[in-house]
Copies of this chain bind each other. A is one copy, B any other.
Amino acid sequence: MKLLIVGGVAGGASAAARARRLSEEAEIILFERGPDVSFANCGLPYYAGGRIAQRDKLLVTTPDRLRARFNLDVRTSSSVESIDREKKVVRVRNTVNGQVSSESYDKLILAPGAAPITPSIPGIDLPGIYTLRNLQDVDRIKSSLNAGVRHAVVVGAGFIGLELVENLVELGISTTIVELQDQVLPPLDKEMTTPIVNLLRSKGVNVILGQCAEAIEIAADGLQVHLKSGQPLIAQMVILGIGVRPENKLAVDAGLETGVRGAIRVNEFLQTSDPDIYAAGDAIEVRDFVLESPTMIPLAGPANRQGRMAADNVFGRKLRYRGSQGTVIVGVCNLTAAATGASEKSLRRADRRFRKIYIHPAHHAGYYPGAEQMVLKLLFDPQSGKILGAQAVGGLGVDKRIDVIAVAIQAGLTVFDLEQVELAYAPQYGSAKDPINMAGFVAAGLIRGDHPQCNVEDVLSIPVEQRPFLLDVRTPTEFSAGQIPGAINISVDELRSRLSEVPRDQQIAVYCQVGQRGYLATRILRQHGFNAANIGGGYKTYRLYCE
């Protein structure tokens, strides 16, 4: 067996190591266009900002170590330029000396990754404009930072964009972030990103949404970025974090099938349209595990596992890749935002029926010091209760809850299963009724009909005169600190004795702070014959929509 692997980072390096473990005899050649293999690209923003102090920390392994330990033929600075599928030969160009050679294969694994998108706007090639994909990129950014940057513009508010902003802010650089969509962190639903925008603004970041850069030019004090709105931004550094496109040229030129956004199409065994060629990592099309549609989900975790699995299948294993869920996470200055599975947006786009709930729990028992708040949104099938997706934003414990739901989605669990999840509880770790259980209770109550809920955005979208009777069941103190316009205040503890103040001929939309008292009030009202529903997630969810 002679196995060639194109790409030496996440997917490629995993494939190579796995292949060697499976076969001591195989000839395994790993081609990497750049000078480094297996570097930690997810660490680049933190090296740029200095939190990761040493550059060599980012080198998970080195070509020499791969050679010594795995007996691999590692060829860096080697760009695979073309594949002759008939002859089963690739043509390789040495990027240092330009020499071209060819190498035959029995099997080929493509792990070329994805490249940052650069928009074709005037001035895009000016010095001071960067993308961030590899160590050479971060070296350029760091030397620019060392030369002195007072103002920076980050274009794109996805994961890398936000991570860069966090690091720039920590360096004391006045930072603007520009995002084409009307929200940061587009994989999440917009309302869930409100806390991130609030946090960024509180840190002095200039957050500009619904805008894009139309041109960049040299100005007296660095670069001037022109937005579509006409607003000029001055910066000494512009970093593009707009997104990535699959490195598909090699595959396309070789006539391999591609799919969504040009990603290399593979079957469930990670085999391309040529059975001797496998592909893994950011460049491939995958099946969306929840929506069951083809998509592209460039993430380090899946890339590593795909690389490993591609090698397994090269050696005849027939392992099936189950698809990707898009489990993602980002940290922005003590705030964590994470998601798994489908979002409300993606469900709407796919025309899938769903219901949603919001809860606002503390990450551990409130009576133990240090409890941090989060908001958790759960999306599920309105009939079966099958979990479709979740998003959470807050402090500690967000990662844990999203990981728990990620496994629940993988296992096909329902909200009824979440009611009975038995998680580890001591007061410094969780709650006797964990946020996961609470989400299950609320969602199951909704499906069972115990707990009719309405969405705050639906209520607000109704013309004022046609809106349901808005009943705020919090305390007068909470009410006077801020309420949904038009609401009447009767605290839940007084509701039973003040039922006469609630109209019988009108729909009642009840709310409290987070949804729990509203739930009890809804139960009280419905049992007394009122047509009541609870505004899911209460006033805190309203604020997510209205801030």
Partner-B contacts on A (CB < 8 A): 10, 20-25, 40, 42-43, 46, 51-53, 57-58, 60, 68-71, 159, 163, 289, 299-305, 308, 321-322, 324-325, 327-331, 336, 338, 340, 365, 367-369, 399-400, 402-404, 406-408, 410-413, 417, 419-430, 432-434, 437, 441, 450, 492-493, 496, 517, 519-520, 523-524, 527-528
In angstroms, Cα B413 to Cα A412, docked, is 11
Decide: A422 and B367 in contact? CB cutoff 8 A: no
* Residues of chain B within 8 A of A308, CB atoms compared: 441
* Residues of chain B within 8 A of A523, CB atoms compared: 21-22, 24
Decide: B432 and A42 in contact? CB cutoff 8 A: yes
Decide: B368 and A43 in contact? CB cutoff 8 A: yes
* Residues of chain B within 8 A of A408, CB atoms compared: 407, 411
Decide: B527 and A25 in contact? CB cutoff 8 A: yes
* Residues of chain B within 8 A of A412, CB atoms compared: 411
Decide: A340 and B493 in contact? CB cutoff 8 A: no
Point out the residue from B57, B163, B368, B493 that lies within 8 Å of A46, measured CB to CB.
B368
Point out the residue from B43, B340, B432, B441 that lies within 8 Å of A367, measured CB to CB.
B43
A56's closest neighbor in chain B, by CB?
B367
> What's the nearest-Cβ distance from chain B to residue A530, in Å?
11
In angstroms, Cα B70 to Cα A496, docked, is 10
Decide: B424 and A338 in contact? CB cutoff 8 A: yes
Query: Known contacts being A42-B365, A304-B433, is A413 close to B407, with CB within 8 Å?
Result: yes
Point out the residue from B52, B329, B425 that lies within 8 Å of A42, measured CB to CB.
B425
Point out the residue from B300, B369, B410 that lies within 8 Å of A417, measured CB to CB.
B410
Decide: A492 and B51 in contact? CB cutoff 8 A: no
* Residues of chain B within 8 A of A57, CB atoms compared: 367
Point out the residue from B70, B329, B417, B496 that lies within 8 Å of A429, measured CB to CB.
B329
Decide: A492 and B69 in contact? CB cutoff 8 A: yes
Decide: B21 and A420 in contact? CB cutoff 8 A: no
Query: Known contacts being A367-B40, A433-B304, is A402 close to B425, with CB within 8 Å?
Result: no
> What's the nearest-Cβ distance from chain B to residue A518, in Å?
12
> What's the nearest-Cβ distance from chain B to residue A196, in Å?
14
* Residues of chain B within 8 A of A493, CB atoms compared: 68-69
* Residues of chain B within 8 A of A406, CB atoms compared: 421-424
Decide: B426 and A520 in contact? CB cutoff 8 A: no
* Residues of chain B within 8 A of A22, CB atoms compared: 450, 523
* Residues of chain B within 8 A of A68, CB atoms compared: 493
In angstroms, Cα B427 to Cα A94, docked, is 32
Query: Known contacts being A324-B422, A368-B43, A429-B329, is A520 close to B301, with CB within 8 Å?
Result: no
Decide: A52 and B520 in contact? CB cutoff 8 A: no
Name 6 extra pairs, CB < 8 A, besides A25-B527, A404-B407.
A24-B524, A52-B369, A53-B369, A327-B425, A399-B429, A407-B423
